[in-house]
Amino acid sequence: MPRSEPIKAVRGVRDILPAELPLWHAAELAATAVARRFGYEEIVTPILEHAELIERAGENTDAFAKELYRFDDRGGRALALRPEATAGVVRAYFERGLNQGPQPARLYLTGPMFRYDRPQKGRYRQFYQLDVEAIGSAAAALDVEVIELARDWLREVGLGDLRLELNTIGDSKCRPAYLERLRDYYRPLKEKLSPDSQQRLERNPLRLLDSKSEQDAPFKSSAPQITDHLCDECAAHWELVRRLLDSAEIEYTLNPYLVRGLDYYTRTVFEFFPSGAAGQQDALGGGGRYDGLAEAEGWPPTAAVGFASGLDRVTELMAATGVDVIARPPADVLVVPDGDLVVAAAEVARICRAVRSTAVDYESKSLAAKMRAANKLGAKWVVLLTPDAASRRSAQLRDMTSGEQEELEWVELPTRLA
RNA sequence: GUGGCUAUAGCUCAGUAGGCAGAGCACCAGAUUGUGGAUCUGGGUGUCGCGGGUUCAAGUCCCGCUAGCCACCCCA
């Protein structure tokens, strides 16, 4: 019979293998430890949400239209695989009554997110994020708390050599007027801008500021800056954020071109970069205030601030930085039956498992090959069963480090292995 | 969504001017009358990504598709 084409993984997704997982676990363990230290509790929200929840906030942006994993289920409901965690966490905060408890709700989450974009290095259609949210407070101190938490986590996973970039983008009171000024500045220059930026001019002028096109670069420096046009409340918030960062001795660089494309973002925005590289693709994580999101989802207006980081990139960088994670052998003990001693081997393994992780080599190959396998596995001991010894309920216990070997009764194994 | 590069053994890859499918590693076996690591010897395990086309002959040339990598768009 002809072999059929083997079915491979879906485009843009990947498996994380046993050898890589210690690194991921180290990253997540550090996240849990740091989050708890700051009084944040874990929450798990569904991967599936109503497409509308995701689309409410940014319906007319390209990213939503183009990159949302969206489909109709069997009942005809329009669903989406979450592209980020915040929308779902905010939904849960209201829907499940976390808004009834002490405010703000301090929450964190790790899990898979989905974007239908073209895969490339460090960018997958299914990727993983750490997400931290403080919902239900407008306190500037929380902006700094989230930044400090994020910084501590990155330090803890060995990526402490960081650059923090910081900006404010105002709020619904002061931003519209600023955007008008920005348009007024750029309109006479329109013909000289890149085609992309000409489009941005009317639709999303903030984006002009973080354009990567060299054609746009000369005009940036004299463009009006939002920090000169903040309303009193936003200016006070911005002032307090920086004062708190100073007192926490957290260094940052002001980047007036750091923006967010969506309307519900307000005031503080920040991003972490490895101190070496400056490219936008190298960001280790970022976040900011989103005081307008709850309302965009149809809930009462509620202030919140958050941070998200891509674990794919963080773990990749951890590996590159040489973060050493102890790789443990899958089993301390390998039971090696000689010949047809399957039943005895299973029983001996059962005895050993009382004190040590134990695997059995059931393959029909030579003893030398089985010993090779035991060595490769990294087993500390081999329990060798021969028909003769097995009939006396005995076995050879071999210490793979020293090479010493002695015959023991099966019942003695737990004491010797402990 | 756009562009460039790539796809050959389990893995990394070589394969000339179109003419019998190769190497290293891994794996299996033996040297070792069944006891790992080191060494030596032997063994190729294959739908040359998939589908068409050109040709006496295609891994090689042409077209389409799929996938990967890289960059763009975008990054909520």
What pLDDT was estimated at residue A5? 65
Instruction: Provide, in whole angstroms, the distance separating residue A123's CA from nucleotide B58's C1'.
Output: 37
The nucleotide minimizing the C1' distance to residue A280's CA is B75
- Please tell me the distance from the alpha carbon of residue A375 to that of residue A183, in angstroms, as a whole number: 69
Spatial separation of the C-alpha atoms in residues A187 and A179, rounded to whole Å: 12
Q: Which residues on neighbouring strands pair with residue A288, listed in sequence order?
A: A269, A306
Structure tokens at A397: 């216990």
Task: List all nucleotides in chain B with at least one atom under 7 A from a protein Cβ.
Answer: 1-3, 27-30, 32, 34-37, 47, 49-50, 66-76
Higher-confidence position of A110 and A280: A110
Query: Closest nucleotide to residue A197 (Cα to C1')?
Result: B73
ipTM of the complex: 0.84
Q: How far in angstroms lies nucleotide B58's C1' from the CA of residue A11? A: 30
CA A320 to C1' B60, in angstroms, rounded, equals 38
State, as a whole number of angstroms, the distance between the CA of A121 and the C1' of B13.
22
A213-263 pLDDT, tens digit each: 778 888 888 899 999 999 999 999 999 999 999 999 999 999 999 988 778
Q: Which nucleotide is nearest to A403 (CA to C1')?
A: B36
- Closest to A109 measured CA to CA, from A41, A57, A169, A170: A41
- The counts of H helices and E strands in chain A are 15, 16
Q: Is the pLDDT of residue A385 over 90?
A: yes
Please report the DSSP string for A206-255 in residue order: GGGTT---TTTHHHHTTS--GGGS--HHHHHHHHHHHHHHHHTT---EE-
pLDDT of res. A4: 60
Q: What is the pLDDT of residue A321?
A: 80
Mean per-residue pLDDT over chain A, rounded: 90
In the prediction, which pLDDT does A1 show? 34
Report the distance from CA of residue A131 to the C1' of nucleotide B50 in Å, as an integer. 41
Minimum-distance nucleotide, CA of A124 to C1':
B75
Q: Which residue is nearest to nucleotide B66 (CA to C1')?
A: A11
The angle formed by the CA atoms of residues A71, A291 and A91, to the nearest 5 degrees, is 40
Q: What is the pLDDT of residues A88-101, one digit of tens each?
A: 999 999 999 999 99
Question: What are the residue ranges of helices labelled H in A39-163?
Answer: 51-58, 62-67, 86-95, 140-156
Task: Determine whether the distance from the CB of A367 to the nearest atom of strand B is below 7 Å.
Answer: yes
Q: Does residue A179 carry a pLDDT above 60?
A: yes
Q: For residue range A314-339, what is the model confidence (pLDDT) as tens digits?
A: 998 888 787 777 778 889 999 999 87
C1' (B7) to CA (A115) span, angstroms:
25
Q: Decide if A308 contacts A178 (C-beta within 8 A).
A: no
